[in-house]
Structure 1
Amino acid sequence: MSTNGVSQALKPQFGLVNHEGRYLTAETFGFKVNALAPSMKKKQIWTLEQDDEDGQTVFLRSHLGRYLEADKDGKVKCEAETPNDDCRFLLAAQPDGRWALQSEPHQRYFGGSADHLTCFAQSFGEAELWAVHLSLHPQANLLSVSRKRYAHLAVPEDEITVDTNIPWGVDSLITLVYQEGKYSLKTCDNRFLNNDGKLVRVAGPGTDYTLEIRSGKLTFKDYEEKYLSPMGPTGTLRSGRCTKPGKDELFDLEESHPQVVFQGSNNRFVSIRQGVSISANQDDETDMETFQMEIDKETKKCMFRTSGGTYWTLVSQGGIESTATEITENTLFDIKWLGRRVALKASNGKYVCTKKNGQLAAVSSIQGDDEQFVMKLINRPILILRGESGFVCHHKSSNTLDVNRSVYDIFTLLFNDGAYQIKGNSEKFWYISSDLVCTDGDTAEDFFFEFLEHGRVGIKGNNGKYLRADKGGTLKGDADRVDTFSLWEY
């Protein structure tokens, strides 16, 4: 049985884009490389590894687990199962965020176009510069390596501070916005972080950062070549004076699990405010009523973590308490998706019900009204979805959606009594027409989210069909079987 922690650091995987806007690709056949792909899919994803003894030397590993290598004649391939001398590169990050990759043993630069890639240039020019496009899901929690604290929107101070021990609630969601090789940091209320620490509605030069990867950690460099770091007692996030990053400028991106609130059949919120027992007895939502839903990768069952770091667990006589500190069979629950409501089945095979005094207990054999809960996702007010072949994005010339794009659109998610309504930048709503998901609706249409496996969500339309990507990469709402989308993983 797998055990999922509070969150897991995401490995910085990425695509490399050449001067023609094409992605470096590792082909399965013959371990050849080219720069022909116009978008980033599995073959275009690379992982950066660094030499443990020499931190300046890097290796590029493909999706096949093979390493990029260049010989003395400048010929390039991606065949080595373990790094050898020809796999050693030196990485020089440029002010515009692009990388120049130099063969360490042969002192030549890697570049080119289409299927004519070589590592033979004595100096680098446009053809030898590569833009870095992260392939991980762009919504995550941001952890300061030095402070070991998480970034979150501090509403009273109107800034991002790095001073919380756990990433809890909607304020801890950070969205990375990628555009033309640079990244911006967006808060949950759709504002951008300026390099002076202020939050602004409109992106500009001060909100654009160059992403650098150092020893598997991320740094964010502004247009003045200064680095973001937490400053002062509360860790206000802004650019400091450093032009060379140290530990204070290093960050990890970590998984942002769904965090939810439940309402019982008595219309009151499920809470731990009264102690260790889990009861539906509150009229407002606070951290005490918020639970992190972690899905076990093997069993697909759910665990519910409290803000204090403990888990819901089944105890004697079917009681539900928040006393577990480790994952066991009794901390796992099956979720039954019932449209606008959910039911929870505990490890004793019984459904969790809301008793007359509000306490939760797994004592029911049926799914009646008392065994049904409203479950609301609270930490995705802005939504980015990724399918198997790419991100969900507006089609360039129609009112439909593509599901195979390297770039992504950010949508607004609105809750409606157990269902969700999805709105685009044009303030128009998603709806299903002739099995197509359209984006120009004047009135909202309900969709239903089902969290079925780690990192992924199934979405069902009002027509009872699931959303899916067709062979042409268009989002449709006509599937009888669930087709999941990434909500926070790759």
Structure 2
Amino acid sequence: MPTNGSKALTLVVGLINYEGRYLTAEAFSFKLSASAPSLKRKQRWTLEQDDTQTQVVYLRSHLGRYLAADKHGRVTCEAETRDEAQPDCRFVVVAQSDGRWALQSEPHQRFFGGTADRLSCFAQFIGDPELWAVHLALHPQANLHSVARKRYAHLSSEGEGEVAVDSNVPWGVDALLTLVYRLDGKYALKTADSRFLGNDGKLSVDSGRATGYTLEFKCGKLAFKDCEGKYLTPMGPTGTLRSGRCSKPGKEELFDLEESRPQVVLTAANGKYVSIRTGVNISANQEEETNMETFQMEFDRQTKECTFRTNAGQYWEVVSHGGLQATAKEVGANTMFQMHCLDRRIALRASNGKYVCMKKNGQLLAVSDAIGDDEQLVLKLINRPILILRGENGFICHHKTSNTLDANRSVYDIFTLEFSNGAYQIKGIGGKFWYVNSVGVVCADGETPEDFTFEFLEHGRMAIRSAKNGKYLRGEQTGTLKADGDVVKCSTLWEY
């Protein structure tokens, strides 16, 4: 069975105390507090499962240090390894009916809690100070994989639509699910067509009581508990996702979140889609987009080179005489390509040092020494019709009192993408478009579309360039989003 090549995402969370403040690990003296009003880098905690005892977890700070509590209830976060802090870094999550956690020291049986800089792990019983709400700190757009069925969830096209759990691979736009964090601490599941999943399995345009779920964690997996205390589960032959009868999560109710990798279609100089429909040879010879014209881009974290993967699990590779075929079963030297961004087009340089070009019959070969018209491709991202962007300082969100955008928020807004001739228009609230004003600030109340180009440069991140002034979008620490970046750096890269 083909897989998507993705592993389950490591769970990264923010922990919110009863006063609405986040647990924070400070760089200075590794001090701990619960005083931050929002979820940013210092408030992110990685949940690690114990290798032998599934009920035991470890909490690692953004500094790579482990939370620990000694027999006197003193809490620290200084140990660089689990072994250094054993057994004091071992905790058990005691989930409450409202979805909050109590964190119990496994060796000392006391509960962790407190406020501001008065944190301890000495309470014998669970009260409000010992309860923590959980805010996922992952990028909220992902693929959902059923542990029991070993299949992926996707938006079904039958009837009025449902979320079915019957795909071998999460392919195309229908496999994208967005976790929407709500003010009540619950999460909603939003499909690619901007509808919310209800506990009866039906989809609706509005989010209400029946579309809110409490996230529970069991053995490193996720379960979704609805407003009636039941859990989402795949049901029937197609695995329709809806609440079942169980009031405790078993294997059928457990899911993994997996990274949703970018999937694209490519158009060559002849105006035809690049395809493998006629065999293993990669050719630009199709008039419509299907799974055979859709490819998944996977970037190497070190080299920043990328591969192109088919929905059957094969990779593009350079074969003899520079030909391109979708035959490789594993990533290797001949499957790697350097992507060159050319405004609204891209060019691909293969492992043999040659550029990919289109021959008169539409076949693609890596035989060119320079970039001309036949070496240029239009690349369209297809599995992000709705878009959430996170930079080094936080998510992009509409400013509360002006027409600008904040780029340092712990909550996110969902934007809509429209594609046109190698560029994208981005829409926000009320269908208004992003645009760059006269001083380079990005605004979100435009009546007419303005073009932005996307440059896919590394794993999970892209740069966005204004077609108007040619500058990269840059997020300032103060939150202002500007189109004034001249080069790609941390402040101009966006997780999508």
TM-score interval, smaller chain: over 0.9
SS in 2 for 1:87: coil
**Match 1:340 to one of 316, 327, 344:** 344
Matched, 1:381 2:385: yes
1:141 maps to 143
Matched, 1:470 2:476: yes
**Match 2:158 to one of 156, 173, 176:** 156
Whole-Å Cα distance in 2 between the matches of residues 98 and 32 of structure 1? 24
How far off is 1:104 after superposition?
3.5
Whole-Å Cα distance in 1 between the matches of residues 89 and 304 of structure 2? 39
SS in 2 for 1:408: coil
1:174 maps to 177
Cα separation, partners in 2 of 1:53 and 1:360, compared to 1, 3 Å = closer
Contact map agreement 2:155 2:164 (CA 8 A) in 1: yes
Contact map agreement 1:68 1:77 (CA 8 A) in 2: yes
The range that moved more, 59-68 or 358-367, is: 59-68
2:278 maps to 274
Matched, 1:56 2:58: no
1:439 maps to 444
Matched, 1:454 2:456: no
Matched, 1:485 2:478: no
Which whole-Å deviations, capped at 9, do the CAs of 1:219-271 have from their partners, x for residues lacking one? Answer: 11111111111111111111111111111111111111110001111111111
Contact map agreement 1:385 1:485 (CA 8 A) in 2: no
Whole-Å Cα distance in 1 between the matches of residues 282 and 89 of structure 2? 55
**Match 1:429 to one of 423, 428, 433:** 433
1:165 maps to 168
Matched, 1:235 2:239: yes
Whole-Å Cα distance in 2 between the matches of residues 89 and 418 of structure 1? 50
The range that moved more, 127-136 or 144-153, is: 127-136
AA aligned opposite 2:25: A
The range that moved more, 370-379 or 40-49, is: 40-49
| Structure 1: segments with no counterpart, 5+ residues | none
Contact map agreement 2:315 2:326 (CA 8 A) in 1: yes
2:188 maps to 184
SS in 2 for 1:78: strand
CA RMSD of aligned residues (A): 1.6
AA aligned opposite 1:177: V
SS in 1 for 2:321: helix
| Structure 2: segments with no counterpart, 5+ residues | none
SS in 2 for 1:85: coil
Which whole-Å deviations, capped at 9, do the CAs of 1:297-338 have from their partners, x for residues lacking one? Answer: 121111100111111111112211111112122111111111
Whole-Å Cα distance in 2 between the matches of residues 365 and 90 of structure 1? 59
Whole-Å Cα distance in 2 between the matches of residues 106 and 307 of structure 1? 50
2:72 maps to 73
Contact map agreement 1:188 1:381 (CA 8 A) in 2: yes
Whole-Å Cα distance in 2 between the matches of residues 321 and 305 of structure 1? 11
**Match 2:90 to one of 64, 88, 91:** 88
Aligned residues: 485
The aligned runs of 1:247-326 (5 Å cut-off) are 247-326=251-330
The range that moved more, 341-350 or 85-94, is: 85-94
How far off is 1:50 after superposition?
3.5
AA aligned opposite 2:350: A
**Aligned residues: percent identity?**
67
Matched, 1:194 2:198: yes
Contact map agreement 2:4 2:170 (CA 8 A) in 1: no
The range that moved more, 192-201 or 468-477, is: 468-477
Which whole-Å deviations, capped at 9, do the CAs of 1:355-406 have from their partners, x for residues lacking one? Answer: 1111111222222211111110000000001001211111111111111111
How far off is 1:212 after superposition?
1.1
Cα separation, partners in 2 of 1:340 and 1:52, compared to 1, 3 Å = closer
Whole-Å Cα distance in 1 between the matches of residues 251 and 435 of structure 2? 47
**Match 1:390 to one of 391, 394, 404:** 394
1:6 maps to 5
How far off is 1:53 after superposition?
4.2
